[in-house]
Structure 1
Amino acid sequence: MSRTVAGHDERRWRRRAATAAALAALATAAVATPAGAASPDYSLAATNYAGTQIALHEGVQGTARAEAGQTLGHDVSGHQGVVDWPAAAGAGAKFTYVKATEGTGFVNPQFAGQYDGAHAAGIIRGAYHFARPDVSGGAEQAEYFIANGGGWRADGTTLPGALDIEYNPYGGDVCYGKSPADMTAWIADFTRTYLAKVKRSALIYTSTSWWKRCTGNTGRFGDTDPLWLARYAPDIGELPAGWDKQSIWQFARDGGLPGDQNYYNGPLSRVQALAKG
């Protein structure tokens, strides 16, 4: 059953995120690319998008049950090319996320057109970053993301950025060769840098199965970073540790809107509240 996001939750995230940022300023947990490492592989970057690997590793368990009180949205990447945004709005899209970057070596060439096109069509939009913990540290990737469209502005139509952290699409270890402790530190490095630079907490996009496997099911981020959960099944299922509700549910890889299909866990007013900050 869906868990409704109430207004006080956003305020709670902001208060706790600010506390986390102050404490994090005393810590040094940067994760660097080893010296002498081979040049990063970005050969799949143009086709990687949120959920690319989740369906491959976890499959599709069924069709999501539509529930009252949720707001329909979607997410796109360069894979969708030129998007007909007025048509998407006409089909019911109220919000969207657009892939901006991957690692520290790829910017979606369609990003500006997609991001601005969504805005022109009256769709609340945000940007997401496809994480590559194998190529550089979390702080470096957060800064790269912000510099290439992943920031936030208080215009009431821009959602805070999202970190897409999922199975490694480049072969080898699905956790990018990192232990749960190192992966948790990498994610923390990204999220605290984003918060420090943008003054908003990033959403975390992931699946429960990946989170358990690659972070050891840490509950560290539930009080600071809203959850965007991927699960292609009739219901949301088990949540990762630390979160008692999802903000966004990516429930299908395709449907009536371009790209992946999503529900925001609440009415449009809650989407607007997240955008306003």
Structure 2
Amino acid sequence: MRTLISIVAIVAGMTPAPASAAPLPEGSADHTAGSQILKHEGGGNLRAEESPPTEGKVPGMDVSSHQGDVDWKSSWDKGARFSYVKATEGVHYRNPKFTQQYDGSYGIGMIRGAYHFALPDRANGVAQANFFVDNGGGWSPDGRTLPPALDMEYNPYGDTCYNMNQTAMTAWVKEFSDTVFARTRRYPAIYTSTSWWNKCVGGSVKFGDTNPLWIAHYTSKLGPLPVGFDFHTIWQWQAAGLFPGDQNLFNGRFEQLQRIATS
């Protein structure tokens, strides 16, 4: 028999979370962008001579509570010009260091944005999008705020695709994306790896037409993009390095980065 929550979700046009989702392990919460991609796909620290070319690109970083109070001046002095900061996970976790990281990166001069680590089997996309926007995932056309970002990757607790088929996962991503757009007037960037996305989401909806791609791939060469995307906006190419957290490159010049933060 369907639960009352599932019936309400269906009536509202939302995708209910799978009934198989087990309770979260005690003490679980904070997964970083790429933590499960690194675990399943490998990669790691590249030698200096293996780093991807940076000409015409903008270096940046992403952080979570694992980095604690970030020394933003040090990162700025080393060349970082943008940052994504983890805000939330599922509908249960808020980054306790979010204010220091989000406001601190802005204060030093960086263009920054917030990201949400999705747990699609825990709550539908509408609920998680609202939780995200309510807890740091907003946007304003100030030229200093990146689009909110949705982190879609391997399930930290079990089945790779959260016991969801491609049709259900596509619907989940779309309702999250549409809800963020309704709340902020910006479609969220989608963070993912090609392998996970192609297996769990597929290409029935071309998200690349509306959502910027933040791709994770830990080598010196990017490789194929996920199905449904013809272009990448940000590349997370290393899990640790010059800056705290993960190392990223914006696929363009600084003026282009500013335009993405404006419209």
Q: Normalised by the size of structure 1, how large is the TM-score?
A: 0.85
Report how far residue 179 of structure 1 moved. 0.6
| Counterpart AA for 2:60 | G
**Displacement after TM superposition at 1:219 (Å):** 4.6
Looking at structure 2, the residues matched to 34 and 180 of structure 1 have their Cα atoms a distance apart, in angstroms, of: 13
Contact 1:207 1:229 survives alignment (8 Å): yes
Match of 1:197 in 2: 183
One of 68, 72, 84 as aligned partner of 1:85 = 72
Which is bigger in relative contact order (C-alpha 8 A, separation at least 6)?
Answer: 1
Contact 1:29 1:186 survives alignment (8 Å): no
- For 2:125 and 2:25, the matched residues in 1 are separated by 17
Please say if residues 18 and 164 of structure 2, whose CA atoms lie closer than 8 Å, have aligned partners that are also in contact.
no
CA distance in 2, matches of 1:158, 1:29: 31
Structure 2 residue aligned with 1:168, among 133, 147, 155?
A: 155
CA distance in 2, matches of 1:79, 1:120: 20
Q: 2:40 aligns with which of 50, 54, 57?
A: 57
Identify the match of residue 16 of structure 2 among 32, 36, 40: 32
Equivalent position amino acid for 2:148 in 1: G
Report if aligned partners of 1:218, 1:241 keep a CA contact under 8 Å in 2: no
Equivalents in 1 of 2:26, 2:128: separation in Å?
14
In the alignment of these two chains, the number of paired residues is: 249
1:104 to 2:91 alignment: yes
Give how far 1:39 is off.
Answer: 4.1
Kept after mapping to 1: 8 A contact 2:21/2:121: no
Shift of 1:65: 1.9
Q: Which runs of 5+ in 2 are unaligned?
A: 1-10
Distance 1:161 1:41 in 2: 27
Q: 1:37 to 1:231 in 2, by over 3 A?
A: closer
Computed over aligned residues only, the root mean square deviation of the Cα atoms, in angstroms, reads: 1.8
Partner of 2:197: 211
SS at match of 1:201: coil
Q: Offset of 1:242 from its aligned partner?
A: 1.7
Residue number among 134, 138, 149 corresponding to 2:136 in the alignment: 149
Q: Do the aligned partners of residues 219 and 235 (structure 1) sit closer, same or farther apart at CA in structure 2, a change above 3 Å counting?
A: farther
Structure 1 residue 184 corresponds to structure 2 residue 167: no
Q: Following superposition of structure 1 onto structure 2, how do residues 8-47 of structure 1 map, counting pairs within 5 Å?
A: 29-33=13-17, 39-41=23-25, 43-46=27-30
> Structure 2 counterpart of 1:56, which letter?
K
Structure 1 residue 126 displacement after superposition: 0.2
Residues 134 and 118 of structure 1: CA distance in aligned 2, closer, same or farther (over 3 Å): same
Alpha-carbon deviations, 1:32-69, whole Å to 9, x = none? Answer: 235796544473323x1000011111111754421410
Query: Which deviates the most, 152-161 or 197-206?
Result: 152-161
* Partner deviation per Cα, 1:252-272 (whole Å, 9 max, x = no partner): 001111100000000011110
- What is the identity, as a one-letter code, of the residue corresponding to 1:123? M
Give the match for residue 4 of structure 2: none
Code of the residue aligned with 2:143 in structure 1: it is G
Q: Using a 3 Å threshold, how does the CA distance of structure 1 residues 240 and 197 change in structure 2: closer, same or farther?
A: same
Matched residue, 1:115? 102
Aligned to 2:211: 225
Partner of 2:238: 252
Distance (Å, rounded) in 1 between the aligned partners of 2:115 and 2:76? 20
1:66 and 1:160, CA in 2 relative to 1: closer, same or farther beyond 3 A? same
Q: Unpaired segments of 5 or more residues in structure 1?
A: 1-26
The CA deviation at 1:208 is 0.2
TM-score of the two chains, using structure 2 as the length reference: 0.90
Misfit runs of 4+, over 6 Å: none
Change in 2 beyond 3 A, CA 1:218/1:55: farther
How far is 1:220 from its partner?
Answer: 2.1
